[in-house]
Structure 1
Amino acid sequence: MKKLISNLCTQLESGNDLILASIVKSSGSTPRSSGSKMLVMRDGSIDGTIGGGLVEALVQKEAAKLFNEPANTVSFREFDLSNELAANADMICGGHVEVMLEHLPAEEETIAVFSAVNEALRSGKHAVLFTVSVDGSIKERQAVRPCCQLPGLQFAEEKEATRLLETALKSGTPVMENIAGALLTTEAFIPQPDLYIFGAGHVSRPTAELASAVNFRTVVLDDRADFANRERFPQAAEIHVLPDFKDCFAELEVNDNSYIIIVTRGHLHDKTVLGQALATPARYVGMIGSSKKRNAIYDALRDEGVAQKEIDRCYCPIGLSIGAQTPEEIAVSIVGELIQKRAGG
């Protein structure tokens, strides 16, 4: 989502209007869930996906028509994937999706709204977008940060807007309600979870690249500038060269949606980082190494007063058991475990 919103802003700032297609409702076994988005350009090219196949092709066709409509026109299309449509497209999944298509003009007001969303996601923060439509036309858009005071909305009172904002954040899917003759769509944009990779060696490099590709916001930390640099980690959101691994979490905002990987160059550094990592609310803490290394580090931490229940939070040896040998294969096993944890496993 972060890349799509960034591209959306780039296109608008370049003077190109767009069609933004969003799945606003879904049920059953559909290819993509509510909140999925796709951009359609005037030349028919797309960015993002709402599931591929026939539905995506039909949405592209509808988008081409919408370019001929006035700016800020909005259209809703429903697709039943459990009937003849799915059968004719040779689709094995079934269900129902509703797609909202918006004609976004390359105008200052529209650019400002989506730039606010883009900036929030870029900095790892949440954003919520209110879109008000009446009779097939967008009348109002507002992008807000959940932590801030809500702006005045023309079609909804603050109490009502706050309720919709909280519902969208909790569900992670668009919320649609008819209010005073207008359709108010509330969408939460959830930032990528932060993945802190301690160590910038041979395993870190493919792990950071693969994790970035599957929507983790990667932050690489090491005490060696020759390893922790933009040339080796071009996809990383942040790279930190530390004086050492003592107090290595001092400048980090680790929360319960953060992930930590410990792959430093030595047992002592791993122990130093792990002791600090277990004091954070991170959702996942993983450390590379053999069972022998793990047990030695765990014993040392227990001697220092770290509780066993905290030590039990650590995934070590790190990664799914797939027989990985090379750094690239180990990266696949690690990122596979991250995905599993993110999905609730």
Structure 2
Amino acid sequence: MKKLIHNISLQLESGNDLILASIVKSSGSTPRSSGSKMVILRNGEIDGTIGGGLVEALVQQTAAKLFIAPENAVTFIGFDLSNELAANADMICGGNVTVMLEYISASKENAKTFSDINNGLRLGQKVTTLTLMDKGETSLTSNKIVLNFDQDLPVINEFAKEDLLTLLIKSRKTDEPIILESATKQIVAETLAPQPSLFIFGAGHVSRPTAALATSVNFRTVVLDDRSDFANADRFPLADEIEVLPNFDNAFANLNVTESSYIIIVTRGHLHDKTVLAEALKTPARYVGMIGSTKKRNAIYDALIKEGVTQENIDRCHCPIGINIGGQTPEEIAVSIVAELIQERSGD
């Protein structure tokens, strides 16, 4: 999702109008769940997916028609995937989906809205959007309201404050679109959750392809090193954050490492690896991995045990890092590392 939002922001900043298709309701067996999104451009190009097949084809047809509607137009399409539609499309699903299509023009207001959403996700924050619209087959929306967790609810005359608060809480709990209706209006609340944070310690030759590949598979990537000539945007143009450390001794001081975070240790030396690993094992990170040979690993582990680190805690570390695919080059090693990250993320 982070990548799609980033691409939407770039399209709007480049002056390209687009149609944003979002699954706002789903039940039963469907190709994609609520919250899935796809972008359709005027030239027919798409980005993202809401499940493929006939559903996407029909959505693209509707999107083409929506481009001639007024700016900020919105419409909803329902699909019953348990009837003739699914049979004719050779689909095995048996559920229902409702897709919301929004005509988002490349206005300054819309460009800023999606820039704010993109920046929030890059910083690892949950972002909630509120989209107010008329009720009708094809309605008009107001500009999206972007809320971070420390912001107060806006006043929306058509809805009671307590109803809006319930809507917001439910959206943030489920991370799915929630619709609230009044007699003449409806509002869609959607909370976008950031991707899991991947902290890469070391900005050397293995880090570059690892960071790029991890970003492409939807990790929020943070690169840290004590060398500014290595840790910079020229070398890591896709990284969400780059931090130049004074040293590795207090590398975790300003980091928000949670149970959903991932840590990779690929610094330029054994001593730095040991320093970072000792601190990494104090965090609740879901994954900790360190590059290196068995000999290097054992030497670091022995030193940590002498310093009081328990074997149980050391066993959390994946070392040698990555799935064994026989990789030799930095790019091949990156593939093995990111494959292990995906495996851990999927719970397999």
With over 3 angstroms needed to count, the CA separation of the structure-2 counterparts of 1:270 and 1:174, relative to structure 1, is same
Structure 2 equivalent of residue 288 of structure 1 = 291
- Alignment pair present for 1:303 and 2:317: no
With over 3 angstroms needed to count, the CA separation of the structure-2 counterparts of 1:154 and 1:323, relative to structure 1, is farther
Distance 1:312 1:155 in 2: 56
Q: Deviations over 1:287-333 (max 9, x none)?
A: 12344433332232222222444333322232234444443332222
Runs of 5+ consecutive residues of structure 2 not aligned to the other structure: none
**Aligned-partner SS, 1:102:** strand
- CA RMSD in angstroms, aligned pairs only: 2.6
Q: Which amino acid aligns with 1:2?
A: K
- 1:131/1:185 contact within 8 Å kept: yes
Distance 1:163 1:7 in 2: 31
**CA apart distance, 1:259:** 1.4
Number of matched residues? 345
Q: Which amino acid aligns with 1:276?
A: E
Q: Deviations over 1:170-209 (max 9, x none)?
A: 2222122334553322101112322111122332222111
Q: Deviations over 1:22-60 (max 9, x none)?
A: 011223443322211122222322232222222211111
Q: Which amino acid aligns with 2:335?
A: V
Structure 2 equivalent of residue 24 of structure 1 = 24
Structure 2 equivalent of residue 261 of structure 1 = 264
One of 155, 158, 174 as aligned partner of 1:155:
158
**CA apart distance, 1:94:** 5.0
Q: Which amino acid aligns with 1:318?
A: I
- Alignment pair present for 1:233 and 2:236: yes
Q: Which amino acid aligns with 1:124?
A: G
**CA apart distance, 1:13:** 4.5
**CA apart distance, 1:272:** 0.5
Distance 2:81 2:327 in 1: 39
Distance 1:198 1:317 in 2: 16
Distance 1:324 1:129 in 2: 43
Taking structure 1 as the reference length, the TM-score comes to 0.88
- 2:3/2:218 contact within 8 Å kept: no
**CA apart distance, 1:131:** 1.7
Distance 1:340 1:158 in 2: 43
Structure 1 equivalent of residue 199 of structure 2 = 196
Structure 1 equivalent of residue 42 of structure 2 = 42
**Aligned-partner SS, 1:220:** strand
Q: Deviations over 1:113-172 (max 9, x none)?
A: 333323312333221011233323245432111232222223333333232222222222
One of 145, 164, 167 as aligned partner of 1:142:
145
Structure 1 equivalent of residue 53 of structure 2 = 53
Q: Deviations over 1:4-29 (max 9, x none)?
A: 33343444455543321101122344
- Alignment pair present for 1:166 and 2:164: no
Distance 1:317 1:87 in 2: 49
Q: Which moved more, 1:263-272 or 1:285-294?
A: 285-294
Q: Which amino acid aligns with 1:123?
A: L
- Alignment pair present for 1:104 and 2:104: yes
Q: Which amino acid aligns with 2:72?
A: N
With over 3 angstroms needed to count, the CA separation of the structure-2 counterparts of 1:291 and 1:162, relative to structure 1, is farther
With over 3 angstroms needed to count, the CA separation of the structure-2 counterparts of 1:75 and 1:145, relative to structure 1, is same
Taking structure 2 as the reference length, the TM-score comes to 0.87
- Alignment pair present for 1:340 and 2:343: yes
Q: Deviations over 1:60-87 (max 9, x none)?
A: 1001111222233221112233443334
Structure 2 equivalent of residue 175 of structure 1 = 178
Q: Deviations over 1:248-268 (max 9, x none)?
A: 223333333321101123322
**Aligned-partner SS, 1:280:** coil
Structure 1 equivalent of residue 114 of structure 2 = 114
- 1:82/1:96 contact within 8 Å kept: yes
- 2:122/2:241 contact within 8 Å kept: no
Distance 2:32 2:278 in 1: 40
- 1:131/1:138 contact within 8 Å kept: no
Q: Which amino acid aligns with 1:206?
A: P
- 1:132/1:155 contact within 8 Å kept: no
Structure 1 equivalent of residue 255 of structure 2 = 252
Runs of 5+ consecutive residues of structure 1 not aligned to the other structure: none
